[in-house]
A = this chain, B = another copy of it.
Amino acid sequence: MPSNINLELLQRRYNTMGKSSPLFYEQPLHLVRGEGVWLFDNEGKRYLDVYNNVPHVGHCNPRVVEALHQQATTLNIHTRYLHDNIVEYIERLTATFGDGLSMAMLTCTGSEANELAMRMARHCTGGQGMIVTDFAYHGNTEAVAEIGTGFMPEAKHTKRVKSFPIPDSYRGIDGVAEDKLADAYVACIQRAIDEFTEEGIKVAGMLVCPDFANEGLLNVPKGFMERATALVRKAGGVLIADEVQVGFGRSGKHMWAHQWYDLTPDIVTMGKPMGNGHPLAGLVARADMIEEFSKVAMYFNTFGGNPVSCAVGMAVLDALQEDRLMENALSTGAYVTRGLRRLQEKYPLIGEVRELGMFFAVELVLDRTTKAPAIVEARRVINLMRDKGVLISTIGVTDSILKLRPPMPFQPEHADLLLATLDEVMDIVSRESAV
């Protein structure tokens, strides 16, 4: 094992957190410091962070830390008293939405946001049935675990969740022509609705990440989202867009991922990047749904929307705007994509490169025709990248898709280091696997 693994700390971690508490990499990293797009381990070694989207405006962003400190010194209190910060923050947040999405409820985590969204959808529609993809993860509470078709145990036993095949233009459906894919996936939504109806379960809604990020940052067949949403609404359900991972301008072009489509969700959930690491999450929804739900369920979240969290949230919006990070996501994102496509030309292992602003998926395949997933190779790539000082991870049904999702201040010079290192590692792994 490399010298920088603190075995004593690892053993103490096992003793206090158990052996199954998830850790990245075959040789876990022991981190001590972060700054911008960089992380530093206990021996001072520097790592380029091409994985973490939570530190959205950069690790330890001074503007955000200052706002946190300033408000924590002044007042931190729950929302049963009046305070300017929560009102100002929600006003600024909802101003980035349109079409009646004018109210918000703040929580601390994305799981809580998705819990709340589903409680609201079920109350307002009177239905229980929820439609999700067949490789979904939306959090770790019980009702959210039920829709965690990716790997959550509760998903196996529930009767109020139906899943549809991930709408994947790259892999498609056997025997379905490319221009018929949208029709085929839309038919799967109709089938889920019909099954619910047959079983006497009223549809409450569809909950999806508009970019299908965990599913592999899919290129969704054109028209699918709009048509699926229309079917769900016709059945009495609502659309919940889970933007916990992809929101806050990561795509560069739009603040919210659903804005790529010609539709407006009924509820949008958000979290991870919202507080740059501070536990801040929530939902923006149709005002009538928030009013109707709040009347029956006295919703109160002890820490949600406190003045410190809201000060942090506003500092993130400020940094995003003043440092022009969405513009950077577009320009540097395009630069990274061009580099990844050059690597695709060079390495047959790379089946497809997909991108969305500052989020990239590099799908590894053993064979470009069969598209057999290169599972072992993907794992090898991320571990070699880690050893060479660049942090990435994997996503997708078989964990064979490289997930590149750096903090938003990622610059072309960082892209150069990423691309050079990936080139080096792809070369090693391609030789090893002889693909």
Binding site for B on A (CB under 8 A): 5-6, 9-10, 12-13, 15-24, 28-34, 39, 52, 54-55, 59-60, 65, 68-69, 72-84, 86-87, 90-91, 94, 102-105, 107-112, 115-116, 118-119, 123, 140-143, 145, 151-154, 271-272, 276-279, 287, 290-291, 294-304, 306, 308-309
- Per the bound structure, the CA–CA distance linking A103 and B84 in Å amounts to 40
**Separation of A33 and B85 alpha carbons in the complex (Å):** 12
Known contacts A142-B119, A306-B277; decide if A80 and B294 are in contact (CB<8 Å): no
Q: Is A31 a contact of B300 with CB atoms below 8 Å? A: no
Contact indicator A141/B140 (Cβ below 8 Å): no
Is the pair B110, A108 in contact by a Cβ cutoff of 8 Å? no
Assuming the contacts A13-B82, A16-B87, asked whether A279 and B108 have C-beta atoms less than 8 A apart, the reply is: yes
Whether A34 pairs with B77 at a CB distance below 8 angstroms is yes
Q: Give the CA-CA distance A299 to B28 in the complex, in Å.
A: 18
User: B87 to A9, Cβ gap below 8 A?
Assistant: yes
| Chain B residue at smallest Cβ distance from A74 | B33
A29 CA to B21 CA, complexed, in Å: 43
Contact across chains for B69 and A72 when beta carbons are under 8 A apart: yes
Of B60, B110, B271, which one neighbours A76 at CB under 8 angstroms? B60
Q: Which residues of B contact A102 (CB under 8 A)?
A: 15-16
Asked if B302 contacts A54 (CB within 8 A), the reply is yes
By the criterion CB–CB under 8 Å, are B79 and A21 in contact?
yes
Contacts of A30 in B (CB 8 A): 81-83
A291 and B103 within 8 A (CB): no
Q: In the complex, what distance in Å separates the CA atom of A116 from the CA atom of B87?
A: 31
Q: Are B17 and A103 neighbours in the complex by a CB distance under 8 Å?
A: yes
- Interchain CB contact under 8 A, B294 and A20: yes
Which residue in B55, B65, B108, B298 is a CB contact (below 8 Å) of A22? B298
Determine the chain B residues whose CB is within 8 A of the CB of A13 once the complex forms.
82, 86-87
A143 close to B140 (CB less than 8 A) = no
Assess whether A277 is in contact with B34, with CB atoms less than 8 Å apart: no
Contact check: which of B109, B297, B302 meets A301 at CB < 8 Å?
B109
Closest to A47 in B: B81
Residue pair A123, B17 in contact (C-beta under 8 Å): no
Least distance between A419 CB and chain B CB atoms (Å): 24
- Whether A291 contacts B19 by the Cβ 8 Å rule is yes
Q: Which residues of B contact A28 (CB under 8 A)?
A: 81-82
With A and B bound together, what is the CA distance between A300 and B10 in angstroms?
A: 17
A-B CB proximity, top 7 nearest:
A20-B294, A76-B277, A16-B90, A279-B303, A279-B279, A30-B82, A142-B143
Complex Cα spacing A83 to B9, Å:
8
Residues on B with C-beta less than 8 A from A75 are 31-34, 39, 59-60
CA distance in complex: A24, B13 (Å)? 42
How far apart are the CA atoms of A98 and B304 in the complex, in Å? Answer: 32
Question: Judging by beta carbons under 8 Å apart, are A29 and B81 in contact?
Answer: yes
> What CA separation (Å) do A81 and B391 show in the bound complex?
11
The answer for the CA separation of A143 and B308 in the assembled complex, in Å, is: 28
**A72–B65 CB distance below 8 A:** yes
Closest to A288 in B: B18
Check B109 against A303 for contact (C-beta < 8 Å): yes
Report yes or no: A112 in contact with B112, Cβ–Cβ below 8 A: yes
Cβ contact within 8 Å between A69 and B77: no
Known contacts: A55-B76, A109-B112. The answer to whether A94 contacts B34 by CB under 8 A is no
A390 → chain B closest CB, angstroms = 15
- A291-B69 Cα distance, complex, nearest whole Å: 37
How far, in angstroms, from A290 to B21 measured CA to CA in the complex? Answer: 9
The distance from the CB of A428 to the nearest CB of chain B, in whole angstroms, is 24
Q: How far is the CB of A326 from chain B (nearest CB, A)?
A: 22
A73 to chain B, nearest CB (A): 5
Contacts known (A153-B123, A298-B22, A302-B54); A17 close to B78, Cβ less than 8 A: no
Q: Please, which residues of chain B bring their CB within 8 A of the CB of A303?
A: 54, 108-109, 277-279
